[in-house]
Structure formats: structure tokens, C-alpha cells
């Protein structure tokens, strides 16, 4: 590591307050600083050596659409040999419901030989800002006046300092946003503003408490108007009060009609107290809807395992990984024997139970890094990396026996057993290997298995 006055570059990276990940030119991760490990919720062992083709990465764009590996920041920098600035990227983590959002920058460190070059990716967590920005268009166009101030410097004459006002504020007061940002709400007060109410507001702010009150303010031209306002503290993710928000409504006309004022104030208070909850619920509903759409697009509705589309995408990634590592790939097709008889003799509900039972067995049998899914009808598929072609038959045979242990219990206590025919293709992956070719080989093997009386395994080994 290069030293600058006794301070190593590694020390600087280890103590940086942003995530830093360094990739070799083939996109393999060779370094990640502590902040990067914390933000990605990974250990050193879980990230070092992984590359852009690793099937465990799950990124989405700002439209909640999956990002293909060729569009990952590290892949873009490698392709164009140019920096990537301020890219917003979401990371899907199975440990939490919502994605983490990062502002990503990346650039190449080019060497004389391109294979000796590196790609540096830096990022910081913007999840909180991303969540807040989803409300911006709502509060900007709300009919009620909305003001946000800092929570510091409550005392005169400096504070509290205004950091945001919406369009309704501009219409009511005559002040533009540029005129009031950095100023204090005291510019709206005048000679007849109730000093007792101002003292109550100040004390609530000092105590970091919410308050609802009615107060007389003045527009830019000096025109008086009555405001019903609710002020409440805003907290950051650590629970600290950093700002105050005020929701205000002009109640000048209602002030002269006490009977109507009481009814309207009660309705207004309920609306304001529940505004944040309503916005949160609507945002959650939108997120849940997007999550369901993604799930429906990539998972089979009956068995809850990856569907054909998902299997095909992940299997292609496995092939790419195998090409890079010069590995052996095992691709298999599984067909439930005499599946039509389950439906014809016992009904489609029993047929569905058979499909679910096979899916559960696949889920328990395969590793996290393996690829499997429902390929269509009563057919399933899998694609895994193995170290030796001699392992292929044994793996398929163990899977066949595992499925045969599954049984379906009927109401009359009849036990239905399940058998499958498996056709598989084994290939030493090279540039000529394609998913279509291996699927055709596996399909040929499956036909041979079914022609041999079913409940058996056939494996075709592709020649180089």
C-alpha cells in the first residue's frame, strides 16, 4: 500500500465513511471496506471472490425493475472504460422486506495491460432520503400549508430556520420559497399575534413535543389571517428530533362562525394526525403491489418455486459462470410419471398436491447456489455446477429416490406414491455450450427414461 506521511492507503479505505468495493477487471471482488460490508450485510468471506455474474446478486432500478448483470455499475464501467456517476440502485436482501437504496459511483483504474486494471465502486445509503422523496409531490401539491424547520436554535432572532415550504404556503402568504428558506416563521407574526400562544408553541418545540393551536399571522402585504396549525417533531432513523413540520390551514372565515369552527377543527385535527399514517399505508400498498408483480413474474403461483422464465435467466448465468471457471454443468429435466392419472382418477386438487410435493422436495434437495424451477405442466428443471461428470448419475438417482419418499394422503387414508423420470445432460462448458443445446440433450435423455419404463434416470454426456 502507498504511504502518505506515514498513513497507508489501506488505513484510509478502512476508515472511510462510504462503502468502497474494488473489482479486478474480470469483475471479481478483491477488496471491500468495513462500511461496504455493513451496508451490504455481508461478511468478508461472502463477498470476496464474487463477480457480476454471481446469481446471488439482486439489483433493481428506481422503477423497481430487475437490473441485468450487464447493466451493473461495474459491468458498465468495464464496457465503456469510463466513470459512472450518481447511479441510484436498489439491493434486494432476503433478510428484510424493503430493498436498500444506494447512490453509486464507479470508475476504472486503468493499467498498461487492461487485464491488470481495477474498477472501484463507491456507494452510500440513501434509503431514508429515497423513502422521503416519494412524498415530495404529495406535500408540494397539498392544499394545506406545510412548513418544515430545523429543530435547533429555537430562540430569537435566528431560529427556528425554515428549510421547506410548499406551494399552498406561497399562495396564502405571498412569500416565495426562495424568500423564506433560511428565515424564521416569525416573519409571519405581527402586533396582534397572541403572545400566550407563541409561548406555548416555543415551549412545545423546546420539549420536542407536538402542539395544535390557532394563531393570527400576516401575509407579505400585511393582510391578517387566522391559521389552525399542527406542529409535530420529525425524527431520523436513530430517534433523534432533527426538524419540525407544521400543517396549517387558513380558518379566517370559520373564526367568525364558532359553531362551524368546532366541527371543522375536529375533522382537520383527525386528518392531520393521520396524514403520515395514510401516506405510509399507501406507500406500503404500492411497494407490496410491486413486490407481488415481481413475484408473479418470476415464481410459479401454485408451487411457489421459480417459474420457467426465472429458471432460464438463472440457468444462463450458471452457464456464464461455468464458462469462466471451466466447470462441469449438470442440467436435468424431471417429469412426473403418469401424472394424468392423478388428475383423472383423483381430481385436479390431488394433482396440484403432487406438484407441490415435488416442488418442496426440490427446494429441500438443492443448495442455495443451485438453479431449479417448474418448467411447465408436470415438468421441472434444474441446473447445477459439479466438479466431476461421474457425480451426475448419483445426484439424479438420489433426487429420484428423495421424490419417491413423498406421499399424498387422501381422505380415505389412501397413500399415493410419486415417481419421476429424469433426463439429464452433462457438459464441460466451453464457448460452444448453450442452454438450448443442453436442454435438448436433457429432453432426449428424458424421452429415453420414459421409454425405458419410467421411474428411472438417463444421463447424456455432451462431447467437447
Q: What pLDDT, in 10s, does the model give residues 9-28?
A: 778 788 888 999 999 999 99
369 among known catalytic residues: no
Tell how many helices (H) and how many strands (E) occur in the chain.
16, 20
The answer on 316 and 272 residing in a single domain is: no
The CATH code of the domain that includes 411 is: 3.30.70.270
* Cα gap 41→116, rounded to integer Å: 29
Q: Write out the residue range of the structural domain in which residue 456 sits.
A: 308-461
CA distance 355 to 380: 9
pLDDT(297) > 80: yes
**Are 396 and 457 part of one and the same domain?**
yes
60-108 per-position pLDDT tens digit: 988 789 999 899 999 999 999 999 999 999 998 767 667 889 999 999 9
pLDDT at 266: 72
* More confident call, 85 vs 295: 85
Contact criterion met (CB below 8 Å) for 252 and 173: no
Q: What is the pLDDT of residue 141?
A: 82
Question: Which pLDDT value is given to residue 255?
Answer: 76
The reply to whether 301 falls in a domain is no
The more confidently predicted of residues 37 and 254 is 37
Catalytic residue among 87, 248, 254, 378: 378
Could you tell me if residue 294 is inside a domain?
no
pLDDT digits (tens, 9 = 90+) for 130-159: 765 556 777 888 889 999 999 888 876 667
Does residue 93 lie in a domain region?
yes
Instruction: Give the C-alpha separation, 362 to 371, whole Å.
Output: 10
pLDDT at 291: 76
76 & 31 share domain? yes
Is residue 268 predicted with pLDDT exceeding 80? no
Antiparallel, parallel or unpaired: β 118-125 and 224-235: unpaired
Of the given ranges (7-21, 58-72, 231-245, 252-266), which has the lowest mean pLDDT? Answer: 252-266
Residue 82 is predicted with a pLDDT of 94
Q: Is residue 51 part of a domain?
A: yes
Does residue 44 share a domain with residue 163? no
CA distance 272 to 247: 7
CATH number of residue 204's parent domain = 3.30.450.20
Strand partners, 211: 231
Q: Residue 94's closest CA among 58, 44, 70?
A: 58
Number of domains within the chain: 3
Residue 97 sits in the same domain as residue 219: no
Domain boundary among 282, 298, 319: 282
- Whether 292 maps to a domain, the answer reads no
Question: What average pLDDT does range 241-260 have in this prediction?
Answer: 81
CA distance 186 to 173: 13
Give the DSSP letter string of 14-71: HT-SSEEEEEETTS-EEEE-HHHHHHHT--HHHHTT--TT-TT--EE-TTSPBPPGGG
For residues 402 and 278, state if they share a domain: no
How do beta strands 84-91 and 59-60 pair? antiparallel
The band of 379, judged by pLDDT with boundaries at 50, 70 and 90, is very high
Same domain for 261 and 165, yes or no, is: yes
| Cα 111 → chain centroid | 35
pLDDT score for 1: 45
Same domain, 277 and 312: no
Task: For residue 272, count other CB atoms closer than 10 A to its CB.
Answer: 19
Query: Mean pLDDT throughout 240-255?
Result: 88
Amino acid at each position: 500500500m502507498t504511504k502518505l506521511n506515514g498513513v497507508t492507503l489501506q488505513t484510509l479505505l478502512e476508515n472511510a465513511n462510504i462503502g468502497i468495493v474494488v473489482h479486478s477487471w474480470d469483475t471479481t471482488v478483491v477488496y471491500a471496506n468495513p462500511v461496504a460490508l455493513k451496508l451490504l450485510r455481508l461478511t468478508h468471506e461472502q463477498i470476496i471472490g464474487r463477480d457480476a455474474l454471481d446469481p446471488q446478486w439482486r439489483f433493481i432500478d428506481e422503477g423497481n425493475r430487475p437490473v441485468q448483470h450487464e447493466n451493473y455499475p461495474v459491468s458498465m464501467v468495464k464496457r465503456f472504460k469510463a466513470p459512472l456517476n450518481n447511479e441510484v440502485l436498489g439491493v434486494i436482501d432476503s433478510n428484510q422486506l424493503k430493498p436498500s437504496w444506494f447512490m453509486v459511483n464507479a470508475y476504472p483504474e486503468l493499467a498498461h495491460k487492461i487485464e491488470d486494471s481495477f474498477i472501484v465502486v463507491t456507494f452510500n445509503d440513501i434509503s431514508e432520503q429515497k423513502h422521503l422523496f416519494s412524498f415530495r409531490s404529495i406535500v408540494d401539491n397539498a392544499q394545506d400549508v406545510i412548513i418544515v424547520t430545523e429543530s435547533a436554535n429555537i430562540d430569537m432572532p435566528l431560529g427556528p430556520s425554515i428549510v421547506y415550504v410548499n406551494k399552498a404556503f406561497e399562495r396564502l402568504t405571498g412569500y416565495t420559497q426562495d424568500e423564506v428558506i433560511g428565515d424564521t416563521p416569525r416573519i409571519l407574526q405581527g402586533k396582534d399575534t397572541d403572545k400566550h400562544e407563541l409561548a406555548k408553541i416555543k415551549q412545545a418545540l423546546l420539549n420536542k413535543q407536538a402542539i395544535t393551536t390557532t394563531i393570527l399571522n400576516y401575509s407579505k402585504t400585511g393582510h391578517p389571517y387566522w391559521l389552525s396549525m399542527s406542529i409535530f417533531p420529525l425524527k431520523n432513523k436513530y430517534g433523534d428530533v432533527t426538524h419540525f413540520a407544521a400543517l396549517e390551514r387558513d380558518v379566517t372565515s370559520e373564526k367568525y362562525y364558532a359553531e362551524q369552527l368546532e366541527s371543522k377543527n375536529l375533522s382537520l385535527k383527525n386528518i392531520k394526525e393521520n396524514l403520515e399514517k395514510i401516506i405510509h399505508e399507501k406507500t406500503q400498498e404500492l411497494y407490496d403491489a410491486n413486490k407481488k408483480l415481481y413475484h408473479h413474474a418470476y415464481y410459479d403461483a401454485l408451487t411457489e418455486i421459480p417459474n420457467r422464465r426465472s429458471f432460464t435467466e438463472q440457468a444462463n448465468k450458471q452457464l456464464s459462470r461455468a464458462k469462466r471457471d471451466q466447470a462441469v454443468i449438470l442440467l436435468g429435466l424431471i417429469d412426473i410419471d403418469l401424472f394424468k392419472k392423478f388428475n383423472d382418477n383423483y381430481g385436479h386438487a390431488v394433482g396440484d398436491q403432487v406438484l407441490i410435493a415435488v416442488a418442496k422436495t426440490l427446494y429441500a434437495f438443492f443448495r442455495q447456489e443451485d438453479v431449479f424451477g417448474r418448467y411447465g405442466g408436470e415438468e421441472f428443471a434444474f441446473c447445477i455446477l459439479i466438479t466431476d461428470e461421474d457425480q451426475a448419475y448419483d445426484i439424479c438417482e438420489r433426487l429420484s429416490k428423495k421424490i419417491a419418499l413423498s406421499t399424498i394422503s387422501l381422505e380415505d387414508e389412501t397413500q399415493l406414491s410419486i415417481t419421476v423420470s429424469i433426463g439429464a445432460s452433462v457438459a464441460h462448458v466451453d464457448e460452444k455450450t448453450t442452454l438450448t443445446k443442453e436442454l435438448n440433450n436433457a429432453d432426449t435423455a428424458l424421452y429415453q427414461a420414459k421409454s425405458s419404463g419410467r421411474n428411472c434416470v438417463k444421463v447424456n454426456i455432451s462431447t467437447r
